[in-house]
Structure 1
Amino acid sequence: MTQRPKRLNKAWQDLREALEGLRTRIVQSEAAQLPLLEQQDPSLPWHPGIRNMLHYLALRSVDLRPLQGALSDAGLSSLGRAESHVLDSVQCTLQILYAALQMPPADFSDATAITREQGQRALTDNTLALLGSPPHQRSTHIMVTLSGDRADDADFFRRLFTAGMNIARINCAHDSPGIWRRLAEQVRTASRDTGQPCRILADLAGHKIRTGPLPDAPGVIHLRPERDRLGRLLEPARMTAMACHQASSSLPSGVDCLLLLVSGSAMPQQGEDLLCHDARGKERVLVVERVENEVITLQATQGCYFTAGNRCQSRRRRHVQGYFAGIPQSVVPLHLEIGDSLLLQSQGGPGGPALNGRPARISCTVPEVIPQLPIGQQVWVDDGKIAAVVLEQTSEGALLRITKTKPGGARLLPDRGLNFPGLALELPALSAKDLDDLGTIIPLADLVGFSFVENAGNMRSMLEALRQRQGEHLGVIAKIETASAFHHLPEILLAALGRQPMGVMIARGDLAVEVGPERLAEVQEEILWLAEAAHLPVIWATQVLEQLTKKGVISRPEFTDAAMGVRAECVMLNKGPYAVEAVHTLNDILTRMQAHQHKKFSQLRALHWGATEEPPDQWPEPPR
């Protein structure tokens, strides 16, 4: 028999000892933690994801990079794709080493190991229970946020289904219960008409901490004709007005303002010129392009600004006179620059700009958080566009100093998000609105999105709220959108595993503000890994194909980001005028990418250099 070199034999012995030590760490960690979990919660059911997640946490508690390099050099598994079957992966590698060292196979009956096949099956079953069956030829679900403006557009819903949507999201932070019901009806109807199943996620608003109101100012209509680079007119600017003799309390949809005609005035006619002075006193001519009932369309070939009270008169028929009214008021934003002070008011009511030595001020939609802000606490506003730090607590609220804006300053408007990175806020798990909304959405939805879940106690409160309302059948999506939720993710998952269908959403918008944009790429990977260890499906969310959805164009980085979403079980698109086109594109990207990637596993399908297209029937079956 050929003798192995002593150096190689020593290297394999070292690997064996290292892996045996790693296995001991994993088994001892499970033995220590599982009884504690059962003691804290006697109802804790046995679930393969619980044991495997405990194994994964033990595996990742040490730096394995040197060991991984040595394993790879020896032609063995580097444990880099062991998330779904941690202990089994270590034990299989050990058995290979025992055989190579001519040692008898080890007896590993002292611990329960989840095999790779069992882990894959558990993830598939949990995904099926939560999200339903994926469509033919695509293993990743597509979720689309619905807009209340489309609640009566049945054709829009059918086109979403045809494009590839199979989960619809209703955002309970917007619209009303009546609109939510109408959206759910449209989804169910389109599902029946197309024969395609679709689940509904109702996303609770949570404690969305936002800026309060600012004073309104008189509304302005700014007309800007389109011109080429030489200033030549390409397209006139247009506005619509309802011509009437009495003011109306509301404007019809699509109408910009009222044209109140003076007593005895006739209606303007198509082709007629209306002479007027705009808000600056500039003489302008508006041409009546079209008249439909009482709604007239006016076009301008010069830029102009109109406010309520600006008068106009026909050039040809002097008795046709009127003035503009009913222009919706607009908010005047706060202008903030680095070094400015901003008072975060503890009382409600409108804010305002700096005046007479007093700082600019704005209120907060959840005022009870303001006294909890310590001196030196960082505050991020409007998805990180503005940064500030707490200087002091006053009788009126928390005084902030602005530390970051874009060059030239930033505009602060109402209803902009406020984040306090690293601060554990003392708020109930579910807001009063959330509890009220649960009664509406339980009959409508298949899934409930738990916004701003922070810890295991929050998750238990959600499960209890569902139980009290006979909503145990709903799947729960834990939205990870704060640094605290990320750090407590294992306990959040353990609080719900096995009790009812559950998944994780990587809510990258707020999460990026909380952990920092540079760290987000790392954090989203860690969430993917831990969820796979627990055999739970993941939703890849926030700003996927955002430009395509909102503007109808796509950037190259968006393609790459969408392609990375294939590692999750579901990818979420936001609402927008081009949502159907975005679903078409995402469906194509995901269908192509599933032949190359499954979780962290790169799949080596046959490559055909120079081929322009590969027929779909040659794509390998995606792993289940």
Structure 2
Amino acid sequence: MNEKTGFDGSVWQPEALLDVLEALRWDIEEGAERWLRRYEDAFPDGVTTSAENFAHYLALRNRDLRSVQRSLARFGLSSLGRHEPHVLAGLNEVIEALGARVGRVTQRRRGGPTFEQAHLRLATHAADLLGSVPEGRDSRVMVTLPSAAADDPDLVRSLVASGMDMARINCAHDDPAMWRRMARHVRDAEARTGRSCRVHMDLAGHKVRTGPVAPRTPVVRLKPVRDAYGRAVRRAQVDLVHPEQIGDTGRGGVPRLCLDGETLASMKVGDRLRFRDARKSSRLLAVREAIPGGFRADIGSTAYVTPRTRFALQRRGAGKWQTVIRGLRCGGFVEAQMEIRLFEGDTLVLLRRPEPGTPGRRDEDGGMVVPARIACSHPQVIDQLDPGQAVWIDDGKIGAEVECVDAHGARLRITRSRPQGAVLHEDKGLNFPGLDLGLPALSAQDEQDLDFVAELADTVALSFTESRSDLEALGAALARRGAVDLGVIAKIETQRGVQNLPDILLGGMGRFDLGVMIARGDLAVEIGGERLAEVQEELLWLCEAAHVPVIWATQVLESLAKKGIASRPELTDAAMSGRAECVMLNKGPYIVTALRTLDGILHRMQQHQRKKTPRLRALGIVQNQPAPQPAADE
């Protein structure tokens, strides 16, 4: 093999290549039969051609065919690289063409869909599940509705008019009354715009999260503004007001503390408050002016005030300061949590008991001598952990590894964090790549939410789908509610979901109008961001072979939707998303702009590519070149 190119130059001769392809075809048929025998009960009306083709593809991709592909391309034949939806039909055509080249009569094998049938089946399945494709583009657009959509029908109407084909309601947020209003606004927008828009609902699923963090003593820092030489150029200000006004915002962002009405009634401009702050430093607050409901005071030195801080109200009289009231305390502090900051090498105990999290204790050199602690929302998961198990926290911001498990919980060693440490908050996601958490497919909350899903939705997504049995549990729950015709979307967002995709597809495609959502947020945490592009490609290929429509989800034009400005990488990502049957946008203040931008991108890109196949539309770059001039001797 050439060390620079990685190409060994080997090519099969036509006769030998034909033998290889005919043997490959037999292997594919036998391999497909083995797959389908395992799932006969999943197809009560008989195995469909889509399932048959998917089994052919699984058998085909069970081997390395790169040398075969090089040889086929050398002889100007299809290299089998775009045969996902019609595996056997495509292989038959290649074998016949190669047979004609070498003068050998070949036998066409039957089975699976033809080229025309394959593309029609995928298009039909997508239309049944996701609705018909809009005019001007091949992919639909799903938009996650924000909470404001419950009370803003104009927003929903604008989204539908701008190209939203599916409205997503996330059951992890808002409440049933708001979901019902959102769905009603979508139906109204359909009638008013003349555009079709389906209602899709995501079940929240078992999202394993961190528990609450213990409160800390709240503190208000009063800090003067200083110049480059450390000299105070503006004193720190604080408003001292009646408790009834503590919820109001002070003018110019000035912090507010409250004193009792009797103290305020006796206070005058020119008084001062003497105190020792949280660092035991002696400080003086000068009362400068009366404001509505109290007084404004200022200080020339930095001070830290807590609920334990005691003040003495002093007034100048007879040439000296005299104490008017002793032992005063302020109120109105905002409750705060302890900061659990974790560095690489630190220890964190994932607790079984629902007790508040604490930051642990460090020695003088910063080393952790008492581990940090935080509870797990699903403590039964801890019983599934073994030493060496990877744990990712807060969408991968913190990485850890299980050291041991005991009666208190799991002891984790932090393996990845920012150089300045990462702060661990409550209600942050916990991911355990590759681990069977032993949780049922549907949570108790999912069971309750399904009552509203059955009433309001056209399709439902099962979060964290990892097996055929997960889909069966959802199917049974839908049957109990008389919603057997509801479209079902399996959200693939874990390592186990990726590994078990054949089981999920073969177990569900004969029972539901089935689709797959590539939920790239959790999936990237589970498999590693560097593998996401590779894995999402494989998921697209497998679903195309099964004629199962795909929703490309998570962080599409995220910066544009949230900040109003798109980054260059996410524009490229949006262009690539058109290979799926539907693309999902998340909510944000600029969602209408993001939707219109995505609509334009998809419209243009479909002229250049369909799935893995480039479309050779005339290139503007070429057309804009000056016509070549004839040679002088012509």
TM bracket, shorter-chain basis = 0.7 to 0.9
Q: Could you tell me whether the CA contact under 8 Å between 1:452 and 1:482 is conserved in 2?
A: yes
**1:115-194 equivalences in 2 (<5 Å):** 115-194=114-193
Distance in 1 of aligned mates of 2:222 and 2:187? 42
For 1:443, the equivalent position in structure 2 comes to: 455
Residue of 527, 540, 543 corresponding to 1:531: 543
**CA separation of 1:361 and 1:611: change in aligned 2, threshold 3 A:** farther
2:357 matched to 1:351?
Answer: yes
Q: Which amino acid aligns with 2:169?
A: I
For 1:32, the equivalent position in structure 2 comes to: 34
Deviations 1:510-556 (A, max 9, x none): 11111111211111100000000000111111111111122222211
Q: Could you tell me whether the CA contact under 8 Å between 2:491 and 2:518 is conserved in 1?
A: yes
Q: Which amino acid aligns with 1:71?
A: L
- Structure 1 residues 328-337 or 493-502, which shifts more? 328-337
Q: Could you tell me whether the CA contact under 8 Å between 1:390 and 1:400 is conserved in 2?
A: yes
Q: Could you tell me whether the CA contact under 8 Å between 2:213 and 2:358 is conserved in 1?
A: yes
Q: How much does 1:335 deviate?
A: 0.7
For 1:57, the equivalent position in structure 2 comes to: 58
Residue of 335, 343, 346 corresponding to 1:329: 335
2:557 matched to 1:558?
Answer: no
Residue of 489, 492, 515 corresponding to 2:504: 492
Deviations 1:287-339 (A, max 9, x none): 999x9xx9xxxxxxx9999988999x9xxxxxxxxx99656533333111111
Distance in 2 of aligned mates of 1:122 and 1:226? 69
Q: Aligned to 2:13, what secondary structure does the other structure show?
A: helix
For 1:97, the equivalent position in structure 2 comes to: 98
Deviations 1:249-300 (A, max 9, x none): x889xx9998868649999xxxx9xx999999686999999x9xx9xxxxxx
Distance in 2 of aligned mates of 1:611 and 1:77? 28
Q: How much does 1:20 deviate?
A: 0.4
**CA separation of 1:158 and 1:598: change in aligned 2, threshold 3 A:** same
Q: How much does 1:190 deviate?
A: 2.3
- Structure 1 residues 168-177 or 185-194, which shifts more? 185-194
Q: Aligned to 1:170, what secondary structure does the other structure show?
A: strand
Identity %: 46
Q: Which amino acid aligns with 2:350?
A: L
2:374 matched to 1:373?
Answer: no
Q: Could you tell me whether the CA contact under 8 Å between 1:379 and 1:421 is conserved in 2?
A: yes
**CA separation of 1:347 and 1:67: change in aligned 2, threshold 3 A:** same
Q: Aligned to 1:443, what secondary structure does the other structure show?
A: helix
CA RMSD between the two structures = 4.2
Q: How much does 1:474 deviate?
A: 1.2
**1:313-462 equivalences in 2 (<5 Å):** 328-355=334-361, 358-462=370-474
- Structure 1 residues 376-385 or 216-225, which shifts more? 216-225
Distance in 2 of aligned mates of 1:230 and 1:166? 60
Q: Aligned to 1:547, what secondary structure does the other structure show?
A: helix
For 1:472, the equivalent position in structure 2 comes to: 484
Q: How much does 1:171 deviate?
A: 1.1
Q: Could you tell me whether the CA contact under 8 Å between 2:389 and 2:401 is conserved in 1?
A: yes
Q: Which amino acid aligns with 1:81?
A: R
Distance in 2 of aligned mates of 1:527 and 1:238? 58
**CA separation of 1:334 and 1:473: change in aligned 2, threshold 3 A:** same
Q: Could you tell me whether the CA contact under 8 Å between 1:47 and 1:497 is conserved in 2?
A: no
- How many pairs does the alignment contain? 583
**CA separation of 1:304 and 1:54: change in aligned 2, threshold 3 A:** farther
Q: Which amino acid aligns with 1:142?
A: V
Residue of 482, 505, 516 corresponding to 1:504: 516
**CA separation of 1:139 and 1:423: change in aligned 2, threshold 3 A:** same
Distance in 1 of aligned mates of 2:521 and 2:465? 15
For 2:552, the equivalent position in structure 1 comes to: 540
Q: Which amino acid aligns with 2:584?
A: M
Distance in 2 of aligned mates of 1:286 and 1:590? 62
For 1:15, the equivalent position in structure 2 comes to: 17
Distance in 1 of aligned mates of 2:335 and 2:615? 57
**CA separation of 1:369 and 1:284: change in aligned 2, threshold 3 A:** farther
Q: How much does 1:158 deviate?
A: 2.0
Q: Could you tell me whether the CA contact under 8 Å between 1:449 and 1:479 is conserved in 2?
A: yes
Q: Which amino acid aligns with 1:57?
A: L
Q: Aligned to 2:29, what secondary structure does the other structure show?
A: helix
Q: Which amino acid aligns with 2:206?
A: H
Q: Aligned to 1:585, what secondary structure does the other structure show?
A: helix
Q: How much does 1:221 deviate?
A: 7.8
Distance in 1 of aligned mates of 2:229 and 2:162? 42
Structure with bigger gyration radius: 2
Q: Could you tell me whether the CA contact under 8 Å between 1:256 and 1:327 is conserved in 2?
A: no
Distance in 1 of aligned mates of 2:382 and 2:444? 19
**CA separation of 1:607 and 1:349: change in aligned 2, threshold 3 A:** same
Distance in 2 of aligned mates of 1:158 and 1:238? 47
Distance in 2 of aligned mates of 1:512 and 1:286? 56
2:89 matched to 1:83?
Answer: no
**CA separation of 1:67 and 1:440: change in aligned 2, threshold 3 A:** same
**CA separation of 1:183 and 1:223: change in aligned 2, threshold 3 A:** farther
Q: Which amino acid aligns with 2:395?
A: D
Q: Could you tell me whether the CA contact under 8 Å between 2:142 and 2:585 is conserved in 1?
A: yes
Distance in 2 of aligned mates of 1:282 and 1:134? 70
**CA separation of 1:256 and 1:169: change in aligned 2, threshold 3 A:** farther
Q: Which runs of 5+ in 2 are unaligned?
A: 1-10, 231-235, 294-300, 314-328, 363-368, 625-634
Distance in 2 of aligned mates of 1:361 and 1:258? 33
For 1:483, the equivalent position in structure 2 comes to: 495
Q: How much does 1:159 deviate?
A: 2.1
**CA separation of 1:553 and 1:498: change in aligned 2, threshold 3 A:** same
Q: How much does 1:45 deviate?
A: 3.7
Distance in 1 of aligned mates of 2:587 and 2:517? 17
Q: Which runs of 5+ in 1 are unaligned?
A: 1-8, 232-236, 295-301, 314-322, 613-624
Distance in 1 of aligned mates of 2:225 and 2:181? 39
Q: How much does 1:467 deviate?
A: 1.1
Q: Which amino acid aligns with 2:344?
A: I
Q: Aligned to 1:85, what secondary structure does the other structure show?
A: helix
